[in-house]
Amino acid sequence: SGRGVEDEDLDHGLPTPVRGLSGAKRWSRMTYADAYGKYRRTMAVVTSGAGERTAGFRAELMNAGQWELEYYFPGYAGRGRRSTSRSPGTWKLTIQDSSGEREVEFDAERAEVGWNSLGRFEMATGEATVSISDETDGDFIQADAIRWTPVNRGESDEIAAVMRDNP
């Protein structure tokens, strides 16, 4: 019996798992030792495209004001090798809340493994989304985790976001 795409096992709307980037022609779940997570270390990956495929995160911000946004970068297998390895390049992200939309770029080539600040943003109370497209000057994009922390408040106020389903 042939299985169609609609019959695949899904993880938050993503096919699971893929082995290597060659299988990631659409956003797919990949197990990776340095991915963010307590029990299961996975991330979403896709090969470069024209910006038509997006993955996203959502969080509920309890207060309006200035928030710092951080992006978790798990690194990649070819990091530090000669130019024969794949390169992540620069990624395009869109931050949206009820007050509007902001574009930001993330230079994955220069990013540290772990949490990287994307900047501080004036945000409205309520749902905030961060979308990342498949458009890059590199070979692939990874979506793992984001973290919002209110500026001038304690670390206990940080809000981690979860991957949202994207068709």
The DSSP secondary structure of 28-51, one letter per residue, reads EEEE-TTSS-SS--EEEEEE-BSS
Q: What is the predicted pLDDT for the residue at 35?
A: 87
Q: What is the predicted pLDDT for the residue at 124?
A: 95
**What is the value of pTM for the model shown?**
0.75
**3 state SS of 125:** coil
Six-digit token pair at 160? 């981690």
Q: Phi and psi for 166 in degrees, rounded to 5?
A: -125, 130
Whose tokens are 């390895």? That residue is 85
Q: What is the predicted pLDDT for the residue at 41?
A: 82
In whole angstroms, what separates CA 164 from the centre of its chain?
10
Q: What is the predicted pLDDT for the residue at 3?
A: 39
Number of neighbours of residue 40 by Cβ within 10 angstroms? 9
Q: What is the predicted pLDDT for the residue at 165?
A: 44
Q: What is the predicted pLDDT for the residue at 153?
A: 62
Amino acid code (one letter) for 124? A
Mean pLDDT by 10 residues, the chain (167 residues): 42 50 68 83 86 91 94 76 68 95 95 95 96 92 92 60 46
What CA–CA distances, in Å, run from 45 to 38, 84, 132?
Answer: 19, 20, 11
